[in-house]
Protein backbone atom coordinates (compact mmCIF):
# COMPACT_ATOMS: atom_id res chain seq x y z
CA UNK A 1 0.00 0.00 0.00
CA UNK A 2 1.54 3.28 -1.05
CA UNK A 3 1.81 6.20 1.30
CA UNK A 4 -1.47 8.12 0.84
CA UNK A 5 -3.65 10.12 3.20
CA UNK A 6 -1.66 9.32 6.33
CA UNK A 7 -0.43 12.53 8.01
CA UNK A 8 -2.07 14.41 5.15
CA UNK A 9 -5.44 13.43 6.69
CA UNK A 10 -4.91 15.82 9.60
CA UNK A 11 -4.38 18.85 7.32
CA UNK A 12 -6.73 17.77 4.49
CA UNK A 13 -9.64 19.95 5.60
CA UNK A 14 -7.40 23.01 5.87
CA UNK A 15 -6.17 22.51 2.32
CA UNK A 16 -9.71 21.92 1.01
CA UNK A 17 -11.09 25.07 2.65
CA UNK A 18 -11.90 26.68 -0.69
CA UNK A 19 -13.91 23.68 -1.91
CA UNK A 20 -17.62 24.43 -1.83
CA UNK A 21 -18.81 21.20 -0.18
CA UNK A 22 -22.17 22.80 0.64
CA UNK A 23 -22.74 23.49 -3.05
CA UNK A 24 -21.54 19.95 -3.82
CA UNK A 25 -24.24 18.45 -1.60
CA UNK A 26 -26.90 20.79 -3.04
CA UNK A 27 -25.90 19.57 -6.52
CA UNK A 28 -26.09 15.91 -5.43
CA UNK A 29 -29.55 16.47 -3.97
CA UNK A 30 -30.64 18.05 -7.26
CA UNK A 31 -29.39 14.92 -9.06
CA UNK A 32 -31.41 12.71 -6.68
CA UNK A 33 -34.50 14.85 -7.35
CA UNK A 34 -34.10 14.71 -11.13
CA UNK A 35 -33.65 10.92 -10.92
CA UNK A 36 -36.81 10.67 -8.80
CA UNK A 37 -34.96 9.26 -5.78
CA UNK A 38 -35.48 10.07 -2.14
CA UNK A 39 -32.68 8.01 -0.63
CA UNK A 40 -33.16 6.33 2.71
CA UNK A 41 -29.88 4.44 2.54
CA UNK A 42 -26.69 5.88 1.04
CA UNK A 43 -23.32 4.20 0.58
CA UNK A 44 -20.40 6.57 0.15
CA UNK A 45 -17.05 5.26 -1.07
CA UNK A 46 -13.76 7.12 -0.56
CA UNK A 47 -15.55 9.32 1.96
CA UNK A 48 -12.33 10.94 3.22
CA UNK A 49 -12.87 13.23 6.19
CA UNK A 50 -16.64 13.11 5.71
CA UNK A 51 -17.21 16.51 4.11
CA UNK A 52 -19.99 15.08 1.95
CA UNK A 53 -20.94 12.24 4.26
CA UNK A 54 -21.88 14.43 7.22
CA UNK A 55 -24.38 16.76 5.52
CA UNK A 56 -26.01 13.79 3.73
CA UNK A 57 -26.67 12.02 7.00
CA UNK A 58 -30.06 13.25 8.21
CA UNK A 59 -32.77 11.97 10.49
CA UNK A 60 -34.33 9.69 7.87
CA UNK A 61 -31.20 9.00 5.83
CA UNK A 62 -28.82 6.26 6.89
CA UNK A 63 -25.27 6.62 5.57
CA UNK A 64 -22.50 4.03 5.42
CA UNK A 65 -19.11 5.50 4.52
CA UNK A 66 -16.04 3.60 3.33
CA UNK A 67 -12.44 4.70 2.97
CA UNK A 68 -9.08 2.96 2.75
CA UNK A 69 -7.32 5.47 5.01
CA UNK A 70 -7.59 4.89 8.74
CA UNK A 71 -6.46 8.47 9.38
CA UNK A 72 -9.08 10.05 7.09
CA UNK A 73 -11.72 7.93 8.82
CA UNK A 74 -10.50 9.02 12.25
CA UNK A 75 -10.96 12.67 11.29
CA UNK A 76 -14.41 11.89 9.83
CA UNK A 77 -15.47 9.96 12.95
CA UNK A 78 -14.40 12.81 15.23
CA UNK A 79 -16.45 15.27 13.21
CA UNK A 80 -19.48 12.94 13.27
CA UNK A 81 -19.16 12.58 17.03
CA UNK A 82 -19.01 16.36 17.50
CA UNK A 83 -22.13 16.80 15.33
CA UNK A 84 -23.93 13.88 17.01
CA UNK A 85 -24.34 12.04 13.68
CA UNK A 86 -24.73 8.30 13.70
CA UNK A 87 -22.76 7.10 10.67
CA UNK A 88 -21.20 3.71 10.09
CA UNK A 89 -17.61 4.26 8.94
CA UNK A 90 -15.85 1.27 7.41
CA UNK A 91 -12.14 0.93 6.64
CA UNK A 92 -11.94 -0.94 3.36
CA UNK A 93 -10.20 -0.87 0.02
CA UNK A 94 -13.05 -0.27 -2.40
CA UNK A 95 -11.36 -2.49 -5.00
CA UNK A 96 -12.06 -5.35 -2.57
CA UNK A 97 -15.41 -4.20 -1.26
CA UNK A 98 -17.26 -6.59 1.08
CA UNK A 99 -20.63 -5.25 2.21
CA UNK A 100 -24.10 -6.36 3.16
CA UNK A 101 -27.42 -4.79 2.27
CA UNK A 102 -28.86 -2.65 -0.49
CA UNK A 103 -28.59 1.09 -0.98
CA UNK A 104 -30.74 3.61 -2.86
CA UNK A 105 -27.69 5.64 -3.78
CA UNK A 106 -23.97 4.87 -3.98
CA UNK A 107 -21.53 7.75 -4.22
CA UNK A 108 -17.84 8.21 -4.88
CA UNK A 109 -16.92 11.87 -4.83
CA UNK A 110 -13.89 14.01 -5.56
CA UNK A 111 -11.56 11.72 -7.53
CA UNK A 112 -12.11 8.41 -5.69
CA UNK A 113 -12.48 6.65 -9.06
CA UNK A 114 -9.26 8.26 -10.38
CA UNK A 115 -7.40 6.45 -7.58
CA UNK A 116 -8.33 3.08 -9.11
CA UNK A 117 -5.60 2.39 -11.63
CA UNK A 118 -6.72 -0.87 -13.24
CA UNK A 119 -9.76 -1.24 -15.48
CA UNK A 120 -10.40 -4.78 -14.15
CA UNK A 121 -10.62 -3.40 -10.62
CA UNK A 122 -13.14 -0.80 -11.77
CA UNK A 123 -15.35 -3.42 -13.44
CA UNK A 124 -15.25 -5.57 -10.28
CA UNK A 125 -16.24 -2.53 -8.20
CA UNK A 126 -19.02 -1.52 -10.59
CA UNK A 127 -20.44 -5.07 -10.54
CA UNK A 128 -20.50 -5.09 -6.73
CA UNK A 129 -22.10 -1.65 -6.53
CA UNK A 130 -24.71 -2.74 -9.07
CA UNK A 131 -25.60 -5.74 -6.88
CA UNK A 132 -25.84 -3.56 -3.77
CA UNK A 133 -28.28 -1.05 -5.29
CA UNK A 134 -32.05 -1.25 -4.86
CA UNK A 135 -34.06 -1.71 -8.09
CA UNK A 136 -34.45 2.04 -8.67
CA UNK A 137 -31.00 2.80 -7.29
CA UNK A 138 -28.33 5.05 -8.76
CA UNK A 139 -24.55 5.27 -8.55
CA UNK A 140 -23.15 8.80 -8.78
CA UNK A 141 -19.46 9.60 -9.04
CA UNK A 142 -17.20 12.29 -10.37
CA UNK A 143 -13.72 12.28 -11.81
CA UNK A 144 -11.01 14.78 -12.49
CA UNK A 145 -11.13 14.75 -16.28
CA UNK A 146 -8.47 13.47 -18.65
CA UNK A 147 -7.90 17.11 -19.64
CA UNK A 148 -7.36 18.21 -16.04
CA UNK A 149 -4.90 15.43 -15.13
CA UNK A 150 -2.93 15.56 -18.38
CA UNK A 151 -3.00 19.27 -19.28
CA UNK A 152 -3.54 21.20 -16.06
CA UNK A 153 -1.95 19.17 -13.28
CA UNK A 154 0.52 17.14 -15.35
CA UNK A 155 4.10 18.52 -15.42
CA UNK A 156 3.14 21.34 -13.08
CA UNK A 157 4.21 22.12 -9.54
CA UNK A 158 1.96 23.86 -7.06
CA UNK A 159 2.65 25.17 -3.60
CA UNK A 160 1.19 27.19 -0.81
CA UNK A 161 2.55 28.85 2.28
CA UNK A 162 0.00 29.19 5.09
CA UNK A 163 2.63 30.11 7.68
CA UNK A 164 2.44 27.12 9.97
CA UNK A 165 1.72 24.80 7.05
CA UNK A 166 3.41 24.79 3.65
CA UNK A 167 3.32 22.27 0.86
CA UNK A 168 4.85 21.47 -2.50
CA UNK A 169 2.90 19.39 -4.99
CA UNK A 170 4.86 18.09 -8.00
CA UNK A 171 3.04 16.30 -10.80
CA UNK A 172 4.15 14.10 -13.70
CA UNK A 173 1.78 12.68 -16.30
CA UNK A 174 2.66 9.53 -18.22
CA UNK A 175 0.97 9.53 -21.64
CA UNK A 176 1.59 5.77 -22.04
CA UNK A 177 -0.15 4.66 -18.87
CA UNK A 178 -2.42 7.71 -18.42
CA UNK A 179 -1.24 7.87 -14.83
CA UNK A 180 -0.53 11.09 -12.99
CA UNK A 181 2.14 10.76 -10.32
CA UNK A 182 1.93 13.29 -7.51
CA UNK A 183 4.73 13.91 -5.06
CA UNK A 184 3.57 15.88 -2.06
CA UNK A 185 5.85 17.37 0.57
CA UNK A 186 4.31 19.02 3.62
CA UNK A 187 6.01 21.18 6.23
CA UNK A 188 3.99 21.52 9.42
CA UNK A 189 5.11 23.78 12.24
CA UNK A 190 5.54 22.03 15.56
CA UNK A 191 6.71 24.56 18.16
CA UNK A 192 9.94 26.16 16.80
CA UNK A 193 10.55 23.62 14.03
CA UNK A 194 8.80 22.36 10.93
CA UNK A 195 8.14 18.63 10.57
CA UNK A 196 8.35 17.42 6.99
CA UNK A 197 6.23 14.54 5.73
CA UNK A 198 5.77 13.24 2.22
CA UNK A 199 3.17 11.34 0.27
CA UNK A 200 3.09 9.74 -3.15
CA UNK A 201 -0.26 9.53 -4.96
CA UNK A 202 -1.20 8.09 -8.32
CA UNK A 203 -4.36 8.89 -10.20
CA UNK A 204 -5.43 7.52 -13.55
CA UNK A 205 -6.97 9.71 -16.23
CA UNK A 206 -10.00 8.11 -17.87
CA UNK A 207 -11.88 9.16 -20.97
CA UNK A 208 -15.68 9.33 -20.64
CA UNK A 209 -16.13 6.63 -23.31
CA UNK A 210 -13.80 4.23 -21.43
CA UNK A 211 -15.72 4.64 -18.18
CA UNK A 212 -19.08 4.30 -19.91
CA UNK A 213 -18.11 0.96 -21.40
CA UNK A 214 -16.70 -0.27 -18.06
CA UNK A 215 -19.97 0.75 -16.36
CA UNK A 216 -21.99 -1.20 -18.95
CA UNK A 217 -19.73 -4.21 -18.30
CA UNK A 218 -20.52 -3.73 -14.61
CA UNK A 219 -24.24 -4.08 -15.36
CA UNK A 220 -25.43 -0.45 -15.37
CA UNK A 221 -28.15 0.12 -17.95
CA UNK A 222 -27.88 3.86 -18.52
CA UNK A 223 -25.23 6.46 -17.80
CA UNK A 224 -25.61 10.26 -17.96
CA UNK A 225 -22.59 12.55 -17.84
CA UNK A 226 -22.49 16.18 -16.81
CA UNK A 227 -20.01 19.00 -16.74
CA UNK A 228 -19.27 19.42 -13.03
CA UNK A 229 -21.97 21.07 -10.94
CA UNK A 230 -24.15 21.78 -13.99
CA UNK A 231 -26.55 19.75 -16.06
CA UNK A 232 -24.81 20.44 -19.38
CA UNK A 233 -22.78 17.93 -21.34
CA UNK A 234 -19.05 17.93 -20.57
CA UNK A 235 -16.83 19.80 -23.06
CA UNK A 236 -13.15 19.59 -24.07
CA UNK A 237 -12.01 21.64 -21.06
CA UNK A 238 -14.34 20.29 -18.39
CA UNK A 239 -12.25 19.65 -15.30
CA UNK A 240 -14.74 17.72 -13.19
CA UNK A 241 -17.19 15.33 -14.77
CA UNK A 242 -20.14 13.70 -13.02
CA UNK A 243 -21.52 10.29 -13.94
CA UNK A 244 -25.07 9.28 -12.98
CA UNK A 245 -25.59 5.56 -13.50
CA UNK A 246 -28.94 3.80 -13.24
CA UNK A 247 -29.11 0.20 -12.13
CA UNK A 248 -31.98 -0.64 -14.54
Ligand X SMILES: C[S@@+](CC[C@H](N)C(=O)[O-])C[C@H]1O[C@@H](n2cnc3c(N)ncnc32)[C@H](O)[C@@H]1O
Do residues 140 and 126 touch, judged by C-beta distance below 8 A? no
Distance CA 94, CA 210 (A): 20
- State the Cα torsion 222-225-229-233 to the nearest 10°: -130
Show the site string, 112-151: x = touches ligand X by CB under 6 A, - = not. Answer: x--x------------------------------------
Draw the binding track, 1-40, toward ligand X (x: CB under 6 A; -: no contact).
----x-----------------------------------
Interacting residue with ligand X among 64, 65, 94, 182 (CB under 6 A): 94
Out of 110, 122, 129, 182, which residue is the one contacting ligand X (CB under 6 A)?
A: 110
Q: Which is nearer to ligand X, 39 or 48 (CB)?
A: 48
DSSP 8-state class, residue 2: -
Name the closest residue to ligand X (Cβ): 48
**Residue 67 binding ligand X, by CB under 6 A:** yes
Residue 215 makes contact with ligand X by CB under 6 A: no
Among the listed residues 57, 69, 203, 238, the single contact to ligand X using CB under 6 A: 69
SS3 call for 30 = helix
CA distance 37 to 52: 18
Q: How far apart are CA 148 and CA 236, in angstroms?
A: 10
| Between 52 and 193, CB nearer to ligand X | 52
Helix runs in the chain, H state only: 9-15, 21-34, 53-56, 70-83, 119-131, 146-147, 208-217
> Using CB under 6 A, which residues numbered 43 to 62 contact ligand X?
46-48, 51-52
Amino acid sequence: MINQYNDFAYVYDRLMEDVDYKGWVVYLKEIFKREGIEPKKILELACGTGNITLPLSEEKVEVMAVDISQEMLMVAKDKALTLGKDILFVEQDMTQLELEGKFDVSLCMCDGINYILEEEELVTLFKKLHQHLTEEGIFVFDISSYYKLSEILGENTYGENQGDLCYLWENYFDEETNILEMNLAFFLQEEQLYRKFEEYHQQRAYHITELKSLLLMGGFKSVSVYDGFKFDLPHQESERIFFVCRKD
